[in-house]
Amino acid sequence: MTRLPFTPDQFFEIFAIYNGRFSWVVAAWWLTCLAIVAAAWSNPARYSRLVTHLLAALWAWNAVVYHAVLFTRINPAAWLFAALFAVESVLLVSAAARDSHDYFASQGTMSRVGLGLVAYSFVYPFVSALSHAYPATPTFAVPCPTAILTIGLLLTTGRGIPVSVAIVPALWALIGGSAAALLDVPSDFALLAAGVSLMVTLVRDWLPSTLGSHARQRPSE
């Protein structure tokens, strides 16, 4: 069994501290994200870039407040996680500057999976509370629901998912999703499913184009 540098009790105590200190901020994050995502749902062309900036702010919040300020108390690797989340924030800002990548603009199975993940990210705090009593439970604006929301939105984009903004969420789906089994956080099984869905979509979208590019570059005989 994988050994962790902290106990389950220490892990959930971090959430108790987070929720105790930032309960009103968490509520504000939840309401703001819900409002802006709903606006993008009704008008993707107008609000998608705003959603990307919102995601960037959410990943930055996680980098500083959750990982650097709180999680480093029990896990030295949290400094690396903070750096990863900060990098994702910068990549999202850069992606928003280049292209809006309209959300909710595609059809198909993976888009429907994405919609389900987006919806799940907003009920995530309530699902978590079924397994672990508040405040010692993951709520909103913490890493796993942030990654679920991000992956869900990426799966609904009308064009190929930008690999640059997909790498960190995919990594966190593996790292954070391990809590589902190792730390008894059943609400995080959805994160593992989200990561698999994202990787399948990336392979489906980018592998054919990569192979096609190599074929075009091959010298004719």
Question: Number of structural domains, the chain?
Answer: 1
Residue 88: partners with Cβ closer than 8 Å, 6 or more residues away? 56, 59, 165, 168, 169
- Number of H-type helices and E-type strands within the chain: 8, 0
With beta carbons less than 8 A apart as the criterion, state whether 124 and 170 touch.
no
CA distance 92 to 168: 11
CA distance 33 to 149: 10
In a domain, 2, yes or no: no
CA distance 168 to 81: 10
From first to last of its 221 residues, the chain has per-residue pLDDT tens of 457 899 999 999 999 999 999 999 999 999 999 999 999 999 999 999 999 999 999 999 999 999 999 999 999 999 999 999 999 999 999 999 987 679 998 888 999 999 999 999 999 999 999 999 999 999 999 999 999 999 999 999 967 788 999 999 999 999 998 888 899 999 999 999 999 999 999 988 876 555 444 444 444 43
In a domain, 5, yes or no: no
Domain that holds residue 20: 15-207
Predicted local confidence at residue 107, as pLDDT:
85
In a domain, 106, yes or no: yes
In a domain, 52, yes or no: yes
The tokens for 84 are 């990863």
Tell me if the bond preceding 208 is cis, omega within 30° of 0: no
In a domain, 178, yes or no: yes
Tell me the DSSP string of 173-184. HHHHHTHHHHTT
In a domain, 217, yes or no: no
In a domain, 10, yes or no: no
- For helices 189-217 and 143-155, the axis angle rounded to 10 degrees is 40
Predicted local confidence at residue 178, as pLDDT:
86
What is the number of other CB atoms lying within 10 angstroms of the CB of residue 92?
A: 25
